[in-house]
Amino acid sequence: MKFLLSLLLLACALLSPDLLLNVASAQQPRIKDYNNNGWYMYFGDHKLSDRWGVHTEVQLRRHNIIADPQQLLIRTGVNYNLTPGAMLTLGYGFIETHPYGDYPAAGTFPEQRIYQQLQLQGSLARLGLSHRYRLEQRWVRQPEASAYTYLNRARYMLKATLPFSGNTLEPGELFLAAYDEVFVGFGKNVRKNIFDQNRAYVALGYKISSGAAVELGYLKQIVQKADGVVFEHNQTLQVSLFHNLNFARSN
């Protein structure tokens, strides 16, 4: 029943992400800012032993698909495997954001971030399911500001993968992938964007080997800015490489 409810929420978000905004901001005026972006990403979870590992991640995010800078994100972390289907991560991220869109920031600004994460893996028949729960402590220095502002944010992502053939996803096979992730801000500096953003995604993937896969997909990202008035509607091309190395085999 838990998996069925999760799938229903994912399907609703993919079909109409705006439904997630109606309750929170139905009485507020909205300005919609439409953008076309491209995100080019690498993710790796590398095992050092049966329990311990490291996370590595680089994302190059571009405005106008590839022409202009949007964000650079570098993230790393320490993984601890509680069970074969549950992993904890403690990590750090650096993000540099550039002005883009019709309502841009006043200039380029940095963010330093610490995060804690629990990721659960499961399945429902042929469907692979991943639940990711993440807490973030963020230090953001706005353009022309002399000090960082501290922010808190919680995130939840449900991702589903479906192999084209067979009951499990094997090397050399194509698959479909979809996810929805919701972001919620909290704390004294949250301002008006308690609802921070939602990301709904669908993609075609190819499993290269037991530790590597690629995905080519479309992301609909809705971002509420801190003033609670401007909502970005970002149509985004996503190109992702997942490459997990297992150094524990040589220990």
Task: Give the mean model confidence (pLDDT) for residues 41-54.
Answer: 97
Half-sphere exposure of 79 (CA within 13 A, CB side): 25
- Res 23: pLDDT: 44
pLDDT in tens, 164-176: 988 889 999 999 9
- Res 192: pLDDT: 84
Name the band, by pLDDT with cuts 50, 70 and 90, for residue 146.
Answer: confident
Lowest mean pLDDT segment, chosen from 21-30, 39-48, 111-120: 21-30
Q: What is the DSSP string of 31-79?
A: EEEEEEEEEEEEEEEEESSSSEEEEEEEEEEEETTTTEEEEEEEEEEEE
Task: Give the mean model confidence (pLDDT) for residues 155-169.
Answer: 94
- Res 15: pLDDT: 47
- Res 61: pLDDT: 98
pTM of the entire predicted model: 0.88
- Res 242: pLDDT: 98
- Res 5: pLDDT: 47
- Fold of domain 2-250: Porin (2.40.160)
- Res 197: pLDDT: 97
Answer yes or no: are the C-beta atoms of 60 and 40 closer than 8 Å: yes
- Residue 121 host element (H or E): strand 109-124
State the average pLDDT for the chain. 90
pLDDT in tens, 213-250: 999 999 999 999 988 899 999 999 999 999 999 998 75
Burial (CB count within 10 angstroms: exposed 0-12, middle 13-18, buried 19+), residue 27 = exposed
9 or 80: whose pLDDT is higher?
80
- Res 24: pLDDT: 46
Answer yes or no: are the C-beta atoms of 178 and 160 closer than 8 Å: yes
Segments making up each domain of the chain, as ranges: 2-250
pLDDT in tens, 12-22: 444 455 544 55
pLDDT in tens, 53-108: 999 999 999 999 999 999 999 999 999 999 999 999 999 999 999 999 999 999 99
- Res 193: pLDDT: 81
pLDDT at residue 155 is higher than 70: yes
Question: What values do phi and psi take at 64, rounded to 5?
Answer: 55, 45
